[in-house]
Structure 1
Amino acid sequence: MGTRSNTTASRHTTEAETGTHSFMIVGYTLKKGTGVGSFIRSGSFNVGGHDWAIRFYPDGFAESSKEHVAIYLELMTKNANVRAFYSLSLVKQGTRLAETVCSETDPRLFISCKGSRYSRSCLIARSKLESESAGYIVDDCLTIECSVTVIKESQVSETTRISEIQVPPSDLSEHFGKLLLEKEKADVTFSVGGETFPAHRMVLATRSPVFKAELYGQIKERRARHVTVEDIQPDVFKALLQFIYTDSLPDWGDLDADDYCEIVSHLLVAADRYAMERLKLLCASILVEYLDVKNVATTLAIADQHSFDCLKDVCIEFMASADVMNAVVETEGYANLKRSCPTILVDALEKTISRYRKT
């Protein structure tokens, strides 16, 4: 009888959690002149089970550096020792791109009960920060972005026998994407804004109840091989099809922030039209990520027109401070919202007044 080999394995795992917080300072010039050592603090945000905040010193942290602004990351959780690394960035308002100004790539030990609950000092010359060419301050707004990676406690897995069969990750979306690209066995063609898009009825019907009704229900498209779609741009319909087949969005990395938000807004409207709830939520999450003073009114109008209450609430919450509202009312999007959906502004104004009274 031969000898049987028994191969086992265990694994030591150190996990990390990363989170990013964006801190917008509206009315930057009003914060100046408060004195060296005076600071404003962001709302707290949770990463890795611990609360953090950004400290901003508009007149500097100390007399020796009063010609600089200072930024710190602060551990807010009490009685905690946390290993983490981080980066602090300034957001260029025109492109929405974050430019790192301070970072630590090696883990730093934050101890909440000591002075070491802070990151090392991040000093930026005020002349550089306020330079028009730098693009950090536009319409008296400054945005600081902080990315924190928290190193969690290590774990050792139970000893197990080694599997000799390696199973690759799912490639279902890859194959369906190929089906859309190669158009094999396509049985319906959509005409959208002068462009044609071959597709497969069964795939569309499986993903969208509206397509199911149109292509298999008691309406004219049931037997039609060619369907004309109105009120959707070709690029948006193409993105809609890609999501239907692959559950992913196109790579729009060549677009600037404004154009990116515009096409995502149109895609959200298309998702609502075809009752694709996950796509609708995905588009909404992107719009929330890029929400700013310039586009919040336009986004609010879309949310109201399509009864998307969760996005509507986020927009109103964003506007619900006197400083932000004062900036929003100067935008073209606000003027359009005032004409098309005047009643929705009551919610935003009431929330602003309520917050003002509390302070």
Structure 2
Amino acid sequence: MAASSANSAAPICIKEVSVGSFKFEIYIKDYPCFESSPIFTFGGHEWRAKCRIDFLKHVELLVVLISDADAVKATIDFSLLDKDGGEIYVTNGCFNVLCTIFIASDTTKVKPNQSSSDLLSDSDSLIEHLGDLLKSQNISDVTFEVDGEIFNAHRVVLAARSPVFMAELLGPMIEGNKKCIKLEGMMAEVFKDLLHYIYTDKIQDVGTKFNQHLLEAADRYALDGLRKICEDRLCRDITLDTVVSSLGLADQHNCGKLLDYCLNFAAKPENLLQLTLRQEYLELMKNCPSVFAKLSERASASLDFQKIIYKK
């Protein structure tokens, strides 16, 4: 298929570069062909897009790092687009490609004469840009339905942050080919905060019940950083009203620190006497016998508890 003469000098033309992605057009002269784009700058590095099409009209897309760098870890995702941004196959000798690049933050290195304050500013800027990317609807390429609400996101960002999303969205699992993925067993507000953490490394300071649900979501998607934040907050906010549910949660999700904090709190005689009168304590005995056994052992070893027994 021949390209128009106006574009014959530029088989790969960069159309648009934005936060997290860029678009380019590829004009096909004949088969087989191997074309390269002009060098462009993205994420502080220079890149070149390349396209190879063989006799069978199989398309192979590459993005090559041109600039010198010791190590750059990046995840790259391609989508074929029509003129309106929808997914389409190659037609009429020309097609548009959306390429999304996520550069891992641990590849950032301090340059000579670069102060730590400069590096911090770059990190803050990255978080800000990724936060803006989450808010943008223009280049999102995956949609989730959670508890009746719709959320748009970017496969490459989710995959870079979570090995579970990596398998579901970029691996062989069926979810990777769905236009809208419906998630069960999660509240919309929890998923919203989960996405916010994935893009910005931040979450809002919320109540115990919400942190419990968020910890479950973090464990579901193997987000260890978020899991630790939620566990620390639950340890900080233990009360008589929350300790039993947190005990069950800690046991279910193997949260050793949270389990230890809850056992120490619940084993105090003044707390244990009040907990035994509550329905959730009886349910804990029934549903989590191993936790109840640990609590009984911790309480029996308590010096304050022993004093009460000996006094009686």
TM-score bracket relative to the smaller structure: 0.5 to 0.7
Name the structure 2 match of 1:340. Answer: 287
Q: 1:326 is matched with which residue?
A: 273
- Give 1:223's aligned amino acid: N
Q: Deviations for 1:33-71, whole angstroms, at most 9, x for unmatched residues?
A: xxxxxxxxxxxxxxxxxxxxxxxxxxxxxxxxxxxxxxx
Q: Verify: 1:309 aligned to 2:256, yes or no.
A: yes
Deviation at 1:358, TM superposition (A): 6.4
Report 1:102-113 matches (<5 A).
none
Aligned length: 191
Whether contact under 8 Å (1:189, 1:197) holds in the other structure is yes
Q: Which amino acid aligns with 1:178?
A: D
Correspondence 1:282 to 2:236? no
* 1:171 counterpart (120, 125, 150): 125
The residue matched to 2:289 in structure 1 has which SS?
Answer: coil
Offset, 1:251: 5.3
**Alpha-carbon distance in 2 for matches of 1:284, 1:187:** 32
Instruction: Please say if 1:293 is aligned against 2:247.
Output: no
Q: How does 1:125-204 map to 2 (within 5 A)?
A: 167=118, 169=121, 170-204=124-158
Partner of 2:33: none
Q: Is contact 1:294–1:333 with CA below 8 Å preserved after alignment? A: no
Are 1:224 and 2:171 matched, yes or no? no
After superposition, residues 228-307 of structure 1 pair within 5 angstroms as 228-250=182-204, 252=206, 260-307=207-254
Q: Does 2:298 match 1:351? A: yes
Name the CA distance, whole Å, in 1 between partners of 2:159 and 2:136.
19
What are the equivalent positions in structure 2 for 1:25-44 lying under 5 Å apart?
none
| Partner deviation per Cα, 1:294-353 (whole Å, 9 max, x = no partner) | 211110001111122221111112122222211222234323322321231110111111
**What residue number does 1:214 align with?**
168
* Conserved 8 A contact 1:205-1:215: yes
- How far apart are residue 184 of structure 1 and its match? 3.0
What is the alpha-carbon root mean square deviation over aligned residues?
A: 2.3
Please give the per-residue CA displacement for 1:12-40, whole angstroms capped at 9, x wherever unaligned. Answer: xxxxxxxxxxxxxxxxxxxxxxxxxxxxx
Q: What TM-score results when the alignment is normalised by the length of structure 2?
A: 0.57
Gaps of 5+ in 2: 1-113, 308-312
- Which structure has more relative contact order (CA 8 Å, sep 6+)? It is 1
Q: Percent identity?
A: 37
- 1:240 partner amino acid: L
Structure 2 CA distance, aligned partners of 1:336 and 1:184? 49
Q: Are the counterparts in 2 of residues 303 and 311 from structure 1 also a CA contact under 8 Å?
A: yes
Tell me how far 1:174 sits from its aligned partner: 1.3
Q: TM-score, normalization: structure 1? A: 0.50
Choose 324-333 or 214-223, whichever is displaced more: 324-333
**The residue matched to 1:343 in structure 2 has which SS?**
helix
Give 4+ residue runs of structure 1 displaced > 6 Å after superposition. none
The structure carrying a bigger helix percent of its residues is 2
